[in-house]
């Protein structure tokens, strides 16, 4: 991987970290407890609880992604960054730009290796 590609991926990681942090922040309101005496308009209480559960799951996934992105940002300067953790082959730059937190190539993710 070239230094230019590393810089491009680092920029992508930083951008995605900010986007994920914003997503988590925007979902905070929708994951607050639903009070029994709260007038919730047209939604039934059960729909509101279900919606809250879905949003909590989205927040959990976003926090996992944030952790993975922060780890990728720490690794971006290392020699092994961009190499598959399983087969040690280079991960294609296209995959790294799409999923900069990737630590495995497509073949190893699919379990073929």
Q: Which domain does 29 fall in, by range?
A: 3-79
Tell me, yes or no, whether 102 lies in a domain: no
Q: Please give the tally of structural domains in the chain.
A: 1
CB count within 10 Å of CB 20 equals: 20
User: 16 in a domain, yes or no?
Assistant: yes
What local confidence, expressed as pLDDT, does residue 75 receive? 93
Determine, yes or no, domain membership for 66: yes
Q: Do 62 and 68 touch, CB atoms closer than 8 A?
A: no
Q: Is position 93 within any domain?
A: no
User: Given this model, what pLDDT does residue 113 score?
Assistant: 39
Average pLDDT over all residues of the chain: 87
Find where tokens 């005496």 sit.
37
Q: What share of the chain in percent tops pLDDT 90?
A: 62
Q: Is 37 part of a structural domain of the chain?
A: yes
pLDDT, residue 93, reads 92
Does residue 95 register a pLDDT over 60?
yes
Give tens-digit pLDDT for 33-88: 766 665 556 557 677 778 888 889 999 999 999 999 999 999 998 988 999 999 99
Q: What's the pLDDT band for 112 if we cut at 50, 70, 90? A: low
> Would you report the helix, strand and coil content of the chain in percent, each value rounded to 5?
60, 0, 35
Does 67 reside within a domain? yes
What pLDDT does residue 39 have?
A: 57
DSSP string, 8-44: HHHHHHHHHHHHHHHHHHHHTGGGS---TT---TTS-
């Amino acid at each position: 991987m070239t230094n230019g590609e590393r810089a491009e991926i680092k920029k992508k990681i930083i951008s995605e970290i900010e986007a994920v942090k914003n997503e988590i922040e925007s979902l905070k309101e929708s994951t607050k407890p639903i009070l029994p005496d709260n007038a919730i308009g047209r939604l039934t209480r059960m729909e509101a609880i279900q919606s809250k559960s879905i949003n909590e799951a989205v927040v959990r996934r976003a926090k996992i992604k944030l952790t993975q992105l922060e780890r990728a940002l720490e690794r971006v300067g290392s020699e092994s960054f961009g190499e598959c953790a399983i087969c040690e082959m280079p991960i294609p730059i296209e995959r790294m730009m799409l999923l900069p937190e990737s630590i495995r190539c497509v073949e190893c993710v699919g379990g073929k290796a």
